[in-house]
Amino acid sequence: MTRAIFLDRDGTLIQDVHYLKDPADIKIIKGVSEALRKIKNAGYLMFMHTNQSGIARGYYDWEDVHACNQKMLELYKLNTDFWDGICIAPESPDGEELGYRKPSEKYELEMVQKYNLTPSLCWMIGDKWIDAETGLRSNMNAALVRTGKTIPTETEILASAQKVPICEDLSSFCRSHLF
Ligand SMILES: [Mg+2]
């Protein structure tokens, strides 16, 4: 049985910088590098799923996002082949079609198919409810971290009702939920 972890980028792996374009503006989050290694060593396939509407809005382009993703790996001292897959969703929320933009579970379902994942053993982790929703829609477990924007009370209520744990950060998720 194959298990995987899907991770949001902004607010989860690195600090949420408004429409991050320049790799020099990346701000790391303490403990993320160790947490990522721990998850990978535990035998999970690693995927990153990030909404980047700045592409559709024309604020930056694909190359900027690739450069930031690359820089993030460097800052965390991870190999360039660290990820088993990356999905960059370029759509704007007011666009016609959702495509890969979270809460669309299109990417997760494709990876379940491609890698024969067992969804009940997989996790989707992010800092916003749309991340949790993406996980739940794909029949995976979902968790939220508090390293992004403040989680609103409505989200805390939703999370509690849907058994989505809220962790301080990725390290804390590893301590409490990684088996
Ligand atoms: Mg985020």
Each domain of the chain, given as residue ranges in start order, spans 4-177
Q: Are 1 and 121 in contact (CB under 8 A)?
A: yes
Look up the pTM and report it.
0.97
Give the mean pLDDT of 65-71: 98
Please give the distance, rounded to the nearest whole angstrom, from the Cα atom of residue 121 to the centre of ligand 1.
22
Q: Is the pLDDT of residue 134 over 90?
A: yes
Q: What angle do CA 71, 165, 35 make, to 5 degrees?
A: 30
Give the pLDDT score at 125: 98
Please give the distance, rounded to the nearest whole angstrom, from the Cα atom of residue 116 to the centre of ligand 1.
26
For the question of residue 8 being annotated catalytic, the response is yes
Residue 58 banded pLDDT, cuts 50, 70, 90: very high
Give the pLDDT score at 95: 78
Please give the distance, rounded to the nearest whole angstrom, from the Cα atom of residue 154 to the centre of ligand 1.
17
Q: Is the pLDDT of residue 29 over 80?
A: yes
Please give the distance, rounded to the nearest whole angstrom, from the Cα atom of residue 27 to the centre of ligand 1.
14
Give the pLDDT score at 7: 98
Give the pLDDT score at 178: 86
pLDDT digits over 140-160, tens only?
999 999 999 999 999 999 999
Specify the CATH superfamily of domain 4-177. Answer: HAD superfamily/HAD-like (3.40.50.1000)
Give the mean pLDDT of 59-83: 98
- Strand segments, DSSP code E, in 8-83 are 45-51
For the question of residue 10 being annotated catalytic, the response is yes
